[in-house]
Amino acid sequence: MRTIKVTVCLLLLGAITSSCWNLKEPNQLAMVIGGGLDINQDGRLEVSSQIAIPAGFSSQETGPGKKRSYAVVSATGKDFMDAGQNLQAQLSRTLFYAHRQTILIGERMAEQGLADQGIGKYLDMIVRNPKSEIKSVIWIVKDGMAKDILKTEPLFDPLISTALSGVQLSLGIKPYYYREFLSDYLPHGGALLMPAVSIQPSGGKFNYSGAAILNKEKSLKLIGYLKPEESYYANWIKGRQRMVTVTAANDQINGSISLRVKPSRHIRVTKDSKGLRVHIVLHGTGTVVENNSPLNPATAKDLKTVQSSLSQEAGQEVSKLIQKAQQQYKADIFGIGELVHRKYPGDWKKLQDHWNDTFSTLPITSEVQLKYEDPGQTNSSM
């Protein structure tokens, strides 16, 4: 009798574990690959989703008759979930967000928010939904709407969402994932530095457009942009730049020379009788990738000239960037506030609510130290 009971229990257990409960088949799901948040012309929240169409990936057709690999659908609503419900009403399959790779925020949304409240509150669903992918890369759309970027067709990839995932890597920048956005957003004070993308004037293609600055002390509102060249140095200071090309073109080298370097940084925060002070040192070691000068880095004299000229020119760009952050935007885009928090937690309690005001008057000095690695026989210009 005991053997029969054990056998029945094992059979029941096997039936339970081998069956699918409340599981939808792939042909019942609409796979969301990219998402967009906009404010439309009527001032309402508009949510867009780029949905993968499997038939478009498998199709061997080419030309105008080729099936598209995606569709972009949009709907408006009071908040993300309300708009999502209106969007779902357009589809015969259930929206599935676990494979989303990209989140795009339109410029009007980043600039104004809804009811003058910024974008922070409208990103709550992305964290709260257990099926939401927080390893999505997040971008600000410069001079445009998120849904328009979702409709662009990249050159190499079938989907703009997968293309944007690789753009930052190709530029030597660490991808900015939503989980890192949360990590940067939660601490008090300062600003967020987020990658920006725009549509080319000719239409149909996209461009990396530098970095967007969102003020955390003003409901996470967009206050301006950094040019692509400026964003490389800003990411260098933040420790997010993995590779960068530095070019010097001046009378000292009588031409131009470019060095491809692997960057590193060291930021020192100190305090004296006059208050806090910050010193930023950017290091970089690499190889010459172009030499249009009469200098030969294989010789000690020319090597010193090359390194000095490159370091000086990069140092000037960094100084201009710091000045721009402090005087024009008055926002800590470098994450210096977090360093103050770690080293002087007592002072930070008094400064955190108005840190950007302190940052704008903070004495900040900087220097760049670039070194050249001899690659062998490619020193002199051809």
pLDDT of the residue at 115? 44
Both 264 and 350 in one domain: the answer is: yes
Asked whether residue 121 is assigned to any structural domain, the reply reads: yes
Of 192, 226, 260, the position where a domain reaches its end is 226
3-state SS, the chain, equals CHHHHHHHHHHHHHHHHHCCCCCCCHHHEEEEEEEEEEECCCCCEEEEEEEECHHHHHCCCCCCCCCCCEEEEEEEECCHHHHHHHHHCCCCCEEECCCCCEEEEEHHHHHHECCCCECHHHHHHHHHCCCCCCCCEEEEECCCCHHHHHCCCCCCCCCHHHHHHHHHHHCCECCCEHHHHHHHHCCCCCEEEEEEEEECCCCCCEEEEEEEEEEHHHCCEEEEEECHHHHHHHHHHHCCECCEEEEEEECCCCEEEEEEEEEEEEEEEEEECCEEEEEEEEEEEEEEEEEECCCCCCCHHHHHHHHHHHHHHHHHHHHHHHHHHHHHHCCCCCCHHHHHHHHCHHHHHHHHHHHHHHHCCCCEEEEEEEEECCCCCCCCCC
Burial group, residue 187, by CB count within 10 angstroms (0-12, 13-18, 19+): middle
Asked whether residue 10 is assigned to any structural domain, the reply reads: no
Both 141 and 38 in one domain: the answer is: yes
Give the C-alpha separation, 218 to 212, whole Å. 15
Asked whether residue 49 is assigned to any structural domain, the reply reads: yes
Both 163 and 191 in one domain: the answer is: yes
Both 70 and 218 in one domain: the answer is: yes
Q: Give the torsion sign (CA, 134, 222, 245, 163).
A: positive
The CATH number for 305's domain is: 3.30.300.210
Of 226, 246, 268, the position where a domain reaches its end is 226
Both 88 and 205 in one domain: the answer is: yes
Asked whether residue 71 is assigned to any structural domain, the reply reads: yes
pLDDT of the residue at 114? 44
pLDDT of the residue at 142? 96
pTM of the model: 0.86
The answer to whether 259 and 287 have CB atoms below 8 angstroms apart is: yes
Both 289 and 171 in one domain: the answer is: no
Of 199, 226, 253, the position where a domain reaches its end is 226
Both 179 and 243 in one domain: the answer is: no
Asked whether residue 21 is assigned to any structural domain, the reply reads: no
pLDDT in tens, the chain (382 residues): 566 555 545 555 555 554 444 556 777 888 899 999 999 888 889 999 999 887 655 555 545 555 678 899 999 998 888 888 999 999 888 888 888 889 999 999 998 754 455 566 666 666 666 566 678 899 999 999 999 999 998 888 888 888 888 899 999 999 999 889 888 888 888 999 999 999 987 767 899 999 999 999 888 889 999 999 999 999 999 999 999 999 999 888 889 999 999 999 999 999 999 899 999 999 999 999 999 999 988 888 999 999 999 999 999 999 999 999 999 999 999 999 999 999 999 999 999 999 999 999 999 999 999 998 865 555 677 6
Both 185 and 267 in one domain: the answer is: no
Asked whether residue 39 is assigned to any structural domain, the reply reads: yes
What's the number of domains the chain is made of?
Answer: 2
Both 222 and 308 in one domain: the answer is: no
Asked whether residue 17 is assigned to any structural domain, the reply reads: no
- Residue 210: which domain range? 26-226
Asked whether residue 292 is assigned to any structural domain, the reply reads: yes
